[in-house]
Amino acid sequence: MIVLPTGIRETILERARDGTPAEICGVLGGEYDPDGRSRVASQYPARNVADDPRTRYEIDPEQQLRLFDRLEDSGEAIVGFYHSHPRGPARPSATDAANATWPDRSYVIVSLEPLEIGSWRWRTGSDGADAPGDRFEREQVVVE
């Protein structure tokens, strides 16, 4: 389960609307629990540097490192990541699964058509990265 404050939810939705037709992306900070309830306390927008930002996202690697440092300095954990699907559902695409690299973190996806926010945890197989058991597992989103 991921707890998303109303204000952060609205900020992400606004960014997704403003960023259309491109996918927007960012990092979520707060209290992280790999098996239970994570609570988002902050969101950090990031530049999408994907070759085709209308259908893919890639967080600028240098900016991502700076954001991780900022989270560490503030005492927050990396809860996960978010991005939008301006014309698709709020579920991971095959590309999202191929590019997922943070086990047990939340991947929040915003769909604009229809308007929906979904969250998924990346679970890895017992053999580590790129194992046959790797998959996204849907988690409940609680907005408060």
Res 130 pLDDT > 70? no
Please count the structural domains in the chain.
Answer: 1
Checking if the pLDDT of 19 tops 90, the result is: yes
Q: Cα 121–125–78 angle (5° rounding)?
A: 35
DSSP symbol at 52: S
The CATH code of the domain that includes 25 is 3.40.140.10
Active site includes 58? no
- The 3-state DSSP class for residue 107 equals strand
**Threshold 0.85, pTM exceeds:** yes
**What's the domain range around 85?**
2-143
Mean pLDDT of the 120-142 span: 76
Full 3-state SS string of 5-23: CHHHHHHHHHHHHHHCCCC
Query: Which one is catalytic: 10, 14, 23, 113?
Result: 23
pLDDT digits (tens, 9 = 90+) for 49-97: 999 999 999 999 999 999 999 999 999 999 999 999 998 899 999 889 8
Torsion sign over Cα 117, 108, 33, 139: positive
pLDDT over threshold 90, residue 3: yes
- The residue whose two tokens read 């979520």 is 28
